[in-house]
Amino acid sequence: MPKTTTFLIFGASGDLTSRLLLPALGQLLQREPDRQVTLLGAGSDDWSAARWKKAVHDAFASSDAADQVSRIGATSYTRADITKAADLKKLLAGIDGPLVMYFAVPPAVTVAACEALAQVTLPDDTVLALEKPFGGDEAGARELNETLTTLVPENRVFRVDHFLGRSTLLNILGVRFANRLIEPVWSADHVASVLVRYDESLALEGRARYYDKAGAMIDMLQSHLLQVLAVLAMEEPVDLDEIDLRDAKSAALRATHIWDDNPVKNSRRARYTAGTIDDRTLPSYVDEDGVDPSRETETLAEIVCEVRTSRWAGVPFTLRSGKAMAEKKAEIVVTFKPVRHIPDGLTGQPADGGVLRIGLSPDRIELELNVNGGDDPFALRRESLSTKIGKSTLLAYTEVLSQLLDGDVALSVRGDAAEECWRIIQPVRDAWARGEVPLEDYPAGSTGPAEWASSQG
């Protein structure tokens, strides 16, 4: 019989737990009938046992898994200050066997709790799961990593990035390494540019407490999109275990820099103003509840990077993400160079080579090619071949929890990679802080500032 894993959530009374973690846990248990989990919650709110059990039931029901509540053991909730060693010792007393501690709390609380854990004896096989951001800059990430390694080995630290969920990551790996058509041309010899974009039609949605301090740069580019870049740019790993795969990603990130080392020319930022998306009328970002206009928080960010390796030198990698956009566009756009010569007799001059689009959500692949035929058999035109990549029915965090409860950290962010991501964006943050890159405006429901049209892909 499989061992029972204790899943202890810090911040159990918070939004992340009820909206993402618990629905995903319910769905996971429904899919994996042999998995054994005991669920424990801890938080700062004074919740009764009845309130906690209702929260668990409602969350499971939201993912059509209410019938799985009986499988999480005698679940309980404890009011606790996880920054105090005494409270942590009480929470961990009596836990035997594999333990996953999930920090669904603000980054500063995570840091303080990890420092307090240094005074606590952890059960064997403890895994620590941390939400982004990992630190607030490169030095802060390094300090946090040093603290974590005094608690457990690096291979038992799971830095959560749901963009690295199994299906999304494996889709990219399959396209890159399993196709003779693609693998030989995946380099600067054939690729003109790469765009990684995650634009969403959602606005702030009540997240000012976190987002107004992070902005699009830290919320999306520094974490999710740089991790996607690493998968696109890395060399082929020997296998997909937690050593080789993460070695390959970290090597790509170490080679990544802001294009031409010029953050002023190669970064842009903007903030949405009042507008309409479908039937929703949105206020300006600065008028959203909880927003401090003096922070000048960007809701749309773009940077251009270069991966300085023999494979990729000279190819611009553009990372872009924005809120309150006209439509959701989550995709990778790889534009290939044009052919060197087109035979006389074929009419028309394609602007570029083929274009490969890999959808991040929904998962889809589209290949744009130059073809001829039809009424004029010599006239070139652009046609697209597209297919869906087996739509996943899993919630984003279901994939994360499956790996996490198995103690498999291969698809999480390794400590050195977290530090490199902060290092890459720091020149941009400094330039923005000095006011060298203007904060532009765009109406909610638009595609961004008009002059950004060249980056639409």
Q: Which residues contact 301 (CB under 8 A, 6 or more apart)?
A: 215, 216, 217, 220, 221, 267, 268, 269, 320, 321, 322
Which pLDDT does position 350 carry in this prediction?
66
Q: How wide is the angle at C-alpha 13 spanned by C-alphas 220 and 413, nearest 5°? A: 35
Can you tell me the distance from the alpha carbon of 302 to that of 216, in angstroms, rounded to the nearest whole number? 9
* Of residues 25, 21, 42, the one with CA closest to residue 93: 42
- Mean pLDDT lowest among 10-14, 258-262, 344-348: 344-348
Task: Check if 257 is active-site.
Answer: no
Calculate mean pLDDT across residues 65-71. 96
pLDDT over 80 (residue 232)? yes
Q: Which of 162, 190, 224, 257 is catalytic?
A: 224
Start-to-end C-alpha separation, the chain = 51
Can you tell me the distance from the alpha carbon of 163 to that of 230, in angstroms, rounded to the nearest whole number? 12
Which pLDDT does position 362 carry in this prediction?
73
pLDDT over 70 (residue 115)? yes
Q: Which residues contact 285 (CB under 8 A, 6 or more apart)?
A: 203, 204, 271, 272, 273, 291, 297, 299, 324
pLDDT band, very low/low/confident/very high, at 94 (cuts 50, 70, 90): confident
Which pLDDT does position 274 carry in this prediction?
98
* Dihedral sign, Cα of residue 134, residue 137, residue 139, residue 140: negative
pLDDT over 60 (residue 213)? yes
Q: 222: exposed, middle or buried (C-beta count within 10 Å: 0-12, 13-18, 19+)?
A: buried
DSSP state of 399: H
pLDDT over 70 (residue 150)? yes
Identify the three-state secondary structure at position 231: helix
Identify the three-state secondary structure at position 406: coil
**Average per-residue pLDDT in the chain?**
93
Distance of CA 73 to CAs 63, 189, 286, 380, Å? 19, 57, 46, 64
Can you tell me the distance from the alpha carbon of 155 to that of 108, in angstroms, rounded to the nearest whole number? 23
In the block, which residue shows the tokens 């990729």? 312
- Mean pLDDT lowest among 217-221, 298-302, 450-454: 450-454
- Mean pLDDT lowest among 11-15, 22-26, 378-382, 405-409: 378-382
pLDDT band, very low/low/confident/very high, at 168 (cuts 50, 70, 90): confident
Span 23-59, pLDDT tens digits? 999 999 999 999 999 999 999 999 999 999 999 999 9
pLDDT over 70 (residue 1)? no
Span 309-326, pLDDT tens digits? 999 999 999 999 999 999
Which pLDDT does position 379 carry in this prediction?
85
pTM, to two decimals:
0.94
Displacement of CA 135 from its chain's centroid (Å): 16
Which pLDDT does position 316 carry in this prediction?
98
Can you tell me the distance from the alpha carbon of 45 to that of 51, in angstroms, rounded to the nearest whole number? 11
Calculate mean pLDDT across residues 141-157. 96
